[in-house]
Structure 1
């Protein structure tokens, strides 16, 4: 049969990839062929716009007429529709590939695709899953080719995200949104794009704010008309999820992002509200939150997938055991994650709150108003956030203490988390009168002989944490405090530790509330000096850098080791050179440390010119330097003492003129102490005046403080010195590992429970303990009578009987019993031996 020759144009019309390749090489020569294909695309687009469900694929289950495809006619129409849909998808891909070659002809092409996919998401079109995915992929390709901007693409993808029902397409859209925003902000912050995207997200959150709130408990749960309206909160939930991802990746970390989540905390949809609250708590999990693709593997095996497989294929014992192992792994990982996140908190987000007082009041009003509609878990989550906001910003939401008092019972579920929330909400500006009922409720409910030792320990520890933040809450309750301290004589370790901790706390912060025999020597001396500030009075302002004299002594010792005079004035040029070298070394170390991390703690502040910041070299500074040098020379020559004495005489004369003999006597008594204080201040401030401390100097200062505290502990210092050393070491550890700093600001459940008896281990913990004990040990088993042991001994009786001559064993009692055994006894022994062999084979 002869071959049918076809023209070159017909081949190109039928082979779109080949035509696409030729157009990319020479677009002008193939403009007619492209126009032909583009007209074909427009005709199919008009057909689709006029008749919904026109190109539905086989996954939709309906033909063009909307009838089921179960009959023959429906199958035929469905086949034609699938062919038309395939042609439409190929044309869309072809036009998107060559759109940059014909910008005038395809200027409306991206807008047509966006309108088509958005109308389909609203239910106006019947596109299949394949057509939806093709349109989204081509829009992304147009963005990669700079045919459309990121704003145009994101304005299409954001509304489409909550509309689509395909998990694959939804995951693709989500990944593309995060990737596009990250790429736009990688070299520098794209503020224009960020403003537009944040406005879109804020609009998605605001859409469902007018709906009636529906709880998640009992009769207030789903099933009503309001619950159906609440289902519209999917957009807000996706908005919060995307914000959490962008915050976690350190793409967005500004106050406007936090304000969007603050608004979401008041959303009527409980799932949106929970996800927003968990954002501030630093927890990646939230009620209804969408799990990210990157973190899905951290939860272990997919239990739903395994259970679905068991329902489809034949059930076997091996699959059952595999299911049990997977369930065990998932439960263990969930416990580990829950234990690790109990003390986490998104501290930077809490610091960026615009109006923390208003935010705290809104949280409390929402929780109180819908108390009967929310579950206990949701209310505890709100309590945790509210307490952390109150503690971080020192807020006074006094109604919170009245609200939480009804949950302070030892039989309350999750009472430890409630106690943690209570303690975290207290600070030094909390009125003590509000906390007095709380203290009484804790003492009456938790600390009495009718409860267990763990309950008593939790109650005393809770009172201690509240008192640590507001010591005056026990004012007027000396008898109650004395009774609580008496529990230090208990036989339970946890109760004893809690009572001793409470006693030691009040010895430090407010020893006046203790009885005289309970104060201790150091606390009594501190009380006589009047060092306890009253409520509302803060600590004295810092008048210098703590431990600066240690750094001065270190520099003096270094100069002495180099053969220089420690008291000689330092050359300013040499000092500036040393400071510049120290700063240069510190910056190099920071750059090396930041090469492996995404962000650093230092921000580079750029200026238009190097002359924007200049150090003043005025005449006043020169006079100040000359005066300081003169003082140093006078001190070195022995004149400083006489000068100080002369100044003292002048002060005495002035006092005589003003106050007479009485003032003279007062000044004469106070002169030695005043002179000593001024000398210490002068010594302390000299180094700060002469030298600008670099970060390396501060690091050296912290090391010197730790060494000094260590020496004080070794010399027999008290508990205060030990706690100071522990605080300095913890501070140094937090500087080396920045991620641990926010977590140290809040309490954990373990601090409320205190030390407890060793809990019973589960199967996995017991097996791990057994395997750990076998490490570095020879194979276990008895070596009785073995020849390879360290001290060889004689053989066992069994070995001797085995090697005994037959003539000596034939008349033994054991052999005679075998001969006289009945048939039934022989059968039983043979059966037991057979069972034993089977067990060995297993």
Structure 2
């Protein structure tokens, strides 16, 4: 009896003994488990009573739960129920203990990942401790990552995605308040987790954060993941909207998480803007450098994207409906949204329109009121406008927009930077839809190439060069250039709006890829046959005599056989007819229609290989005497290879494309000091270069008075000193003489 009391009073010792021999200590464990059940009922009514002993019992049972699976079958559900129903009344230590023991049960495979995540997900928006919240967040991410390590765990992924989708959908029925001014608290009663956290978007925010993290780590990359975040773009809470929109946009200003860990996210653009408008001081320079370094560390730690999330945009389900909803929300809540948030929505809408070639014509009417040069963040608005245009956009819808830009930005009453931004915006719009430009307006804009400002000249010349390529008929004859004039003379005309060059029959050069795959298959089959022949001939060769090998071996060639000619190159004997034949074979391979695209799904690696094969074929054509035509084709293919990296880069533009080249800004304190330090390189401190050169001749450099003695008389005749001597009075001459005498006496003594 004394031994049993000792064991039950010392839980760590009992835990160690149970792990060694579970059957021998089953009664002691059952006694402790019954004790836990009775304390749990008391603990639900009064959590402060026996809290320490309750935590010890929970930890003990969690450690030995795998030894008694039948007795502890209901134990994990009891912990989860206690956390979800009585979370607000538990002490922080008790919450932490319960969560840690649930994770321990998952690590011991007592419970499944789905059971654990169903408990942890509702705790994220309710947790006030940053340490516990970070632990729950890392546990969720690591558990999902481990489950998808070897292969995709579709069962777990579907269950987790359903939970995240319900978390985002929980507050979708609330009224949208907007983000102008201070947000008003709006409590709509308890949420699905039993408290009032759903009304402020905490659940939805955490669902978006976890989904973005799983996408960034490459754990999830399917369309269901994108649909969760796309639903968050229409959430009534602005913070959830902003975080969801930034998922598609990427960029520098990723929305700050609601987690309180670490310092506040630093906006690089905001810091640089304040530095430009504030007074330049040394302390300000130091603060700027420190903030930029901190921002760089934060970005490196979080691994935020810096470019548009192209795969997510392409995986959108029904992008036309998604774009129309974005426009309806933007138009309906125009007075509730702040300008930065409206620009975010404009950017996302424009990128969806550009990448999927959508026609949402109401957007061009809506954006007209923001096209003024004094509008805040107008470069971002112009970028959104240019990105939304594509070759299927009706020109009539863009003509009014171009007129508005020209009337507001391109006239003598504004600065050169504004004119350059306006012309660049028109150029980016017309690059995507050239038929939106009017002929008279184009002639006026091209005249700005005679301006004195470099940015305006560059913008106007860019517009001129664009129409020389796409539609030179709209230019005057003297402005078309040589190539465009020759093209018009030859009957080359641009296709009208809505017309295409013709249906695609085949991918150019695909026959080369088909021949390459066929050659690889034949080579593999040939290797197999050669291996079999080698194995058959091995025994025959091994039985041969040395004499036969000597007789049928090498033939000695004497120096007297002068008529024997040895050549390693077949190209030396190739005549013009053979070269022409090879060239014709290459051209036929290029023109032949291939059926590979109908039998195989081509991957990006296949297209990269196709590009290499076309370049190799073009090189062979040049070597075979293809002439200048083959050389031009080779140069074109090599240029296409260098610019083949991103096909969507031509769809999206940046603010630098709109603003154009900038003038060199006035040097700040740091730049001036750097220039001074560069000038002092290679010389001693406080020493002039002339003194350094004359160091071997004289102890130091000459003074200005000594320099004046060696000047020609005509150089000093007009100086103030010489002219003053002539005009000095008798009294001034006497005073100067007296001063000279006293100075000479002092020097003599």
TM-score normalised per structure 2: 0.74
Tell me which residue corresponds to 1:97: 63
Q: Cα distance, 1:328 vs. partner?
A: 4.6
CA contact (8 A) 2:410 2:422 kept: yes
Question: How many equivalent pairs are there?
Answer: 625
CA contact (8 A) 2:177 2:336 kept: yes
- 2:452 pairs with 491, 494, 510, which one? 491
Residue pairs, 1:701-740, within 5 angstroms: 701-702=614-615, 728-731=641-644, 734=645
Distance in 2, matches of 1:580 and 1:131, equals: 71
Q: Cα distance, 1:14 vs. partner?
A: 2.9
Distance in 1, matches of 2:615 and 2:96, equals: 59
The answer to whether structure 1 residue 16 and structure 2 residue 6 are counterparts is no
* Residues 341 and 154 of structure 1, relative CA distance in 2, 3 Å threshold: closer
Runs of 5+ consecutive residues of structure 1 not aligned to the other structure: 1-5, 56-80, 302-320, 553-568, 582-634, 641-675, 710-714, 735-739, 800-810, 821-842
Distance in 2, matches of 1:785 and 1:766, equals: 23
Tell me which residue corresponds to 1:133: 96
Q: Cα distance, 1:775 vs. partner?
A: 11
- Give deviations 1:39-76, integer Å, cap 9, x for gaps: 22222111012x14x32xxxxxxxxxxxxxxxxxxxxx
The answer to whether structure 1 residue 255 and structure 2 residue 250 are counterparts is no
CA contact (8 A) 1:786 1:793 kept: no
- 1:42 pairs with 32, 37, 43, which one? 37
CA contact (8 A) 1:706 1:728 kept: no
- 2:699 pairs with 792, 795, 804, which one? 795
Q: Cα distance, 1:526 vs. partner?
A: 2.3
Tell me which residue corresponds to 2:612: 699
Distance in 2, matches of 1:256 and 1:327, equals: 42
Distance in 2, matches of 1:533 and 1:119, equals: 68
- 2:23 pairs with 23, 28, 31, which one? 28
Q: Cα distance, 1:38 vs. partner?
A: 1.7
* Residues 778 and 129 of structure 1, relative CA distance in 2, 3 Å threshold: farther
Distance in 2, matches of 1:155 and 1:270, equals: 26
Q: Cα distance, 1:37 vs. partner?
A: 1.9
Distance in 2, matches of 1:8 and 1:571, equals: 79
Q: Which moved more, 1:142-151 or 1:272-281?
A: 272-281
Q: Cα distance, 1:685 vs. partner?
A: 2.9
- Give deviations 1:442-493, integer Å, cap 9, x for gaps: 000000000000000000000000000000001xx21111000000000000
Q: Cα distance, 1:531 vs. partner?
A: 3.6
The answer to whether structure 1 residue 758 and structure 2 residue 687 are counterparts is no
Tell me which residue corresponds to 1:441: 404
Q: Cα distance, 1:31 vs. partner?
A: 1.6
Tell me which residue corresponds to 2:120: 157
Distance in 1, matches of 2:662 and 2:653, equals: 17
Q: Which moved more, 1:11-20 or 1:682-691?
A: 682-691
- Give deviations 1:682-737, integer Å, cap 9, x for gaps: 3633697999989556336458879999xxxxx9xxx9999997654232xx3xxx
Q: Which moved more, 1:719-728 or 1:383-392?
A: 719-728
Tell me which residue corresponds to 1:114: 80
Tell me which residue corresponds to 1:534: 496
Q: Cα distance, 1:297 vs. partner?
A: 10
Residue pairs, 1:6-405, within 5 angstroms: 7-49=2-44, 51-52=45-46, 54-55=47-48, 81=49, 84-121=50-87, 123=88, 126-218=89-181, 221-222=183-184, 231-283=199-251, 285-287=253-255, 289-290=257-258, 328-331=289-292, 334=295, 344-405=307-368
CA contact (8 A) 1:409 1:445 kept: yes
CA contact (8 A) 1:446 1:456 kept: yes
Distance in 2, matches of 1:93 and 1:758, equals: 67
CA contact (8 A) 1:150 1:180 kept: yes
Q: Cα distance, 1:350 vs. partner?
A: 0.5
Tell me which residue corresponds to 1:408: 371
Tell me which residue corresponds to 1:510: 471
Q: Cα distance, 1:267 vs. partner?
A: 0.9
CA RMSD of aligned residues (A): 4.5
Distance in 2, matches of 1:694 and 1:188, equals: 27
* Residues 43 and 266 of structure 1, relative CA distance in 2, 3 Å threshold: same
2:85 aligned counterpart, secondary structure: helix
The answer to whether structure 1 residue 782 and structure 2 residue 684 are counterparts is no
Distance in 2, matches of 1:27 and 1:454, equals: 81
Q: Cα distance, 1:527 vs. partner?
A: 2.9
Distance in 1, matches of 2:332 and 2:596, equals: 60
CA contact (8 A) 2:615 2:634 kept: no
Q: Cα distance, 1:231 vs. partner?
A: 3.9
Residue pairs, 1:470-489, within 5 angstroms: 470-474=433-437, 477-489=438-450
CA contact (8 A) 1:457 1:495 kept: yes
Q: Cα distance, 1:261 vs. partner?
A: 1.2
Distance in 2, matches of 1:331 and 1:120, equals: 44
Distance in 2, matches of 1:482 and 1:337, equals: 49
Distance in 2, matches of 1:766 and 1:93, equals: 65
TM-score normalised per structure 1: 0.66
Tell me which residue corresponds to 1:454: 417
Distance in 2, matches of 1:743 and 1:458, equals: 20
1:98 aligned counterpart, secondary structure: helix
* Residues 817 and 730 of structure 1, relative CA distance in 2, 3 Å threshold: farther
Distance in 2, matches of 1:186 and 1:815, equals: 98
* Residues 682 and 366 of structure 1, relative CA distance in 2, 3 Å threshold: same
- Give deviations 1:644-670, integer Å, cap 9, x for gaps: xxxxxxxxxxxxxxxxxxxxxxxxxxx
2:359 aligned counterpart, secondary structure: coil
Runs of 5+ consecutive residues of structure 2 not aligned to the other structure: 190-195, 269-281, 528-575, 601-605, 623-627, 704-739
Distance in 1, matches of 2:25 and 2:184, equals: 60
Tell me which residue corresponds to 1:596: none
Q: Cα distance, 1:680 vs. partner?
A: 9.4
Q: Cα distance, 1:580 vs. partner?
A: 10
Distance in 1, matches of 2:164 and 2:520, equals: 56
